[in-house]
Amino acid sequence: MNNPIPSYLLPRVADLLDRRGRALRDLRISITDRCNFRCTYCMPKAVFDKDYPYLARSSLLSFEEIERVARLAVDCGVGKIRLTGGEPLLRRGVESLVERLARIPGIDLALTTNGALLARKARSLRDAGLGRLTVSLDALDDGIFQRMNDVNFPVAQVLEGIAEAERVGFTGIKINAVIQKGVNEGEILALCRQFRGSGHIPRFIEYMDVGSCNGWRMDQVLPSSEVLARIEREFPLERLGAHRHGEVAERWRYRDGGGEVGVISSVTQAFCGDCTRLRLSTDGRFYTCLFARNGLDVKTPLRLGLADDEIRSLLATAWHGRDDHYSELRAQGLPTPGTVE
């Protein structure tokens, strides 16, 4: 590998910057491409049917490989790791991976799940060292929820999972709801009422054009400003500051002390300028934008036996060359190219 980063410099790469001056702070790790839901905005049945070619197990990064990449990313400035999918709780032995990653010093370790298996897994995840939890829950009305997950999965089982997670010690669980105009916008206040006073935080996400198979249209986006206006009419709000630089959710709290809500305005208020996230895909590629079409292969170098310095150099090269600002381009009506191979 040409020009690897000298090892004596690596502990100081916490200020690793991309071409727009954005530091690397967050790593999202997709540990499976499979999901037990077929949410219409994410993995619609028309595409992800019984014949869909999911990755073979040998094509997935092993837990050992994931841990190695995570440790090297921490050397380059990452302080927060989030496990995602697909549905991460479908990956056999996920608790073992959590335990490995939780041992990395100074890491904020989180996981996002659809909650279907959470009642069964909450205790073992907590015991393995998982720090924080996000649950996707798009509706409390069972009919709406089942239509959106498109596998007739009942909302009661997700709520049971959240209750079990709370029982075993998870606090401040984030409840993510993707809001589609004309589909589940009537669920906003129901979700607020459900979690007021619980310590858990509903977060309302603008319907996004992730991938190319969800039939996204701008007229299906309910702007976060309208979400907040609807909440404000029943529960007066006041703005909170961000926990840290690069946080994507805009935070609000109820003036009466009933808790907190958030909005993620990735369509109407692009936050590319503060984006600090790198994604490691299920098949072992670095993606420097959620919307990127192409990524940088890290699995092959790992399996060829490249040294740590060389893998860190790959990561640094990917980040130094990063110029992604998809949402800003979309907002300006400009072409939105993917990243280079």
Q: What is the pLDDT of residues 181-196, one digit of tens each?
A: 999 999 999 999 999 9
Helix (H) / strand (E) containing 72: helix 63-75
- Cα 62 to Cα 69, 74, 104: the distances in Å are 11, 18, 17
Whole-number mean pLDDT of the chain? 89
SS3 28: strand
User: pLDDT tens-digit profile of 207-255?
Assistant: 976 654 555 677 789 999 999 999 999 999 999 987 776 678 899 999 9
Question: Do 284 and 270 contact (CB within 8 A), yes or no?
Answer: no
Residues 4-18 as b/e (b if ≥16 CB within 10 A, e otherwise) read bbeeeebeebeebeb
Architecture of domain 7-331: Alpha-Beta Barrel (3.20)
DSSP type of residue 55: P
Q: What is the pLDDT of residue 11?
A: 42
Residue 155 pLDDT > 50, yes or no? Answer: yes
Q: What is the pLDDT of residue 220?
A: 86
State the helix-helix crossing angle for 142-149 and 155-167, rounded to 10 degrees: 100
Q: What is the pLDDT of residue 15?
A: 73
Give the Cα separation of 62 and 282 in Å (integer).
10
Give the Cα separation of 53 and 299 in Å (integer).
19
Give the Cα separation of 32 and 282 in Å (integer).
5
